[in-house]
Amino acid sequence: MKDMSWMVASPNGSSNSKPLSWIVVSIGVVAVIITFASWFFLSYPISSSAHGHFYGVESSQTQINTTSVDVRVNGSLGLGDNKTLFDLQPSIDVVSSDNSKTERIDDNGNSQVLFRDSTSPKIAPITKEVNSSETSGLASKVPIPVVGSNSSIVKGCDLYHGNWIYDPSGPLYTNNSCPVLTQTQNCQGNGRPDKDYENWRWKPFECDIPRFDPRKFLELMRGKTLAFIGDSVARNQMESMMCILWQVEEPKNQGTRNMQQYYFESTSVTIVRIWSSWLVKHNSEPFDFAPAGVEKLYLESPDEMLMEFLPTFDVVVLSSGHWFTKQCIYILNNEVVGGRLWWPDKSRHMKINSIEAFGISVETILTALVTHPNYTGLTILRSYSPDHYEGGGWNTGGSCTGKVKPLVPGELVENKYNAAMYKQQVTGFNRVVKKATNGSRMILMDITEAFQYRHDGHPGPYRSTDPNKITTRGRDGRPPPQDCLHWCMPGPVDTWNEIVFEIIKEEYESDSAS
C-alpha cells in the first residue's frame, strides 16, 4: 500500500500538503468499496450454514425449517480427532487377492477413517460412466443452491450431495396407516419414544426434491411394473413404497410363493419384490472340497429366479451386499476360490475375500440385466446402505442406542467395510456400462454418503413389541440387542423412494417429450 502521508499537512506545517478536496475524494472511494463489499457478501454468503437463511426451501404443504446438517462441507472443517469410536475386537483376517498381505478389521469392518466425499453420477443414460477415480476427495466449496419447482426435479440436478433439513410437515404416512409394514421396522409401534427422526428431509444443494405425490407416481407408471430385488433392505424399501402409495389406493395382493406382488387397479401398476440374498446363483449342495450345508455362491451366474421374471419388469431396483458378511463359499469358473467364516485349512490358497466376491456379484447381475435379449427396462442400482453399529458389529455388541438426530459435521467417521463395499459397486457399475447390448438403461442411485449421517434412523433396540424388552444400556455398559442396519418406517428410507420417483420422472417424462 502506498504512503498516504502526503495527503495531510506535516506536523511542522510543511508546505508539502495537498488540497483538502483530495481527502474528500479518497474517503468517498473507500465508502463505495465498503458498500459494494457488504452487498456482495449478503447476496452470496460464504458459509455453508448461511445459505439456508438466504434460500428458502418449500414443501408442498409448508415452509421447511432451514435447520440443517450439511454433508458436503466436512473437507473444510477438519473432521474430529483421531479417537476411535469403535471397538475393533473381535477381528478377522481379510486376505487380499494376491495373498501378499492380511488386513485386520472387525466382523463389521469398523475402522477409524475420516468420511470422504464421493463424486456421484447425475441422472444420466447408460452411456454416462461414473468416474471411480473421483471416489475420494472433499469438496472445497459449497455451491449456492437453486431451488427447484415442486412439480419436478431440476433437470440434471445432482441428487446425492446436500443437507438433511428438518421438515415440520412430517412424514408421508404413519406407522398406523400402512398394513404391510414389517413389525421390526415399526419403531413407533414398538415403543420408540422420540419422533424427530421422521421429520428430516433430504435437500440437494442444486435443487429441491418435491414431496412424493403418490397419485402422480401411479399415473406416471401406468401399466408398468416396478420390482425391488435383493435382501431385507430391499424389502425395507419396497414396504416404504407400498406405505406411501397405500395412502391413495389400497392395492390387490396378487403375490405368489416366489414373489410378493401388489396391483393398483386404477392405473394397472404392479409393485413386486423378489427375495435374492446375493443376486447370484446359490445352493448348499456339496462342491469339490466344500461340504453340504454351507451356502455356495456361483459368482459368475445370476440368480435364476430373478432372471426368469426379468422380462416382465419395467423398472428394477437392486439391493445387495449385507449377506456377504454371512457364512458362505465362493465358486468362480468351477473352482472354490474363497469363503466367508469358512475355510478348510490355511494350507489352501484363498484367492478372493468377501469384499471382492461382492464386487464380482455386482458385475455379474448387472451384466445379465443389460445383455438380456428380452429386457429393455430401467435398472436402478441403489448403492450400499450404511449401518451404524458402534462399539462392535451386529453380533458383537454393536449399538445405535439413544441416537435421536442426524450426525453433524465433525462427528462422522468412515466405516472402512462400508467404504470398501461401496467402491466395489462403483467399479462393477463402471465396467458393465460398456457392456450393454439390449437398449436397457442403468443408473447408480448413490445414497451411501448422505445416509452415513442418519444413525438416528434405525430401530435400534425398538425392534419388537415386547413390553419388557431392554432399551437402555445395563449397569456394565452393555447395550441391548438391536438393529442398526434396517430403517424405521416412516423414516429416512422413504427418501430412497422420493429419489426413485425423480429418476423415473427423468426417464419417462423425457420419453414422452421426445
pLDDT at site 264: 98
The single residue of 232, 284, 301, 464 carrying the catalytic annotation is 232
C-alpha cell read off for 505: 420422472
pLDDT at site 81: 28
pTM of the model: 0.73
How far is CA 348 from each of CA 336, 341, 381, 482, rounded to the nearest angstrom?
A: 10, 15, 35, 37
Integer Cα distance of 477 and 390 in angstroms? 13
Q: Which residue ranges in the chain fall short of pLDDT 50? A: 1-18, 36-66, 72-153
pLDDT at site 413: 81
φ/ψ (deg, to 5) at 7: -80, -15
Residue 440 annotated in active site: no
Segment (H or E) for 315: strand 315-319
Integer Cα distance of 260 and 272 in angstroms? 6
Amino acid in the structure at residue 147: V
222-263, pLDDT tens digit by residue?
Answer: 999 999 999 999 999 999 999 999 999 999 999 998 899 999
Residue 486 annotated in active site: yes
pLDDT at site 196: 96
pLDDT at site 213: 98
**CA end-to-end span of the chain:** 60
Residue 107 annotated in active site: no
39-81, pLDDT tens digit by residue?
Answer: 443 333 333 332 222 222 233 333 444 455 655 443 322 222 2
Q: Which of 67, 69, 65, 85 is nearest to 77 (CA)?
A: 69
The single residue of 106, 303, 387, 483 carrying the catalytic annotation is 483
pLDDT at site 203: 95
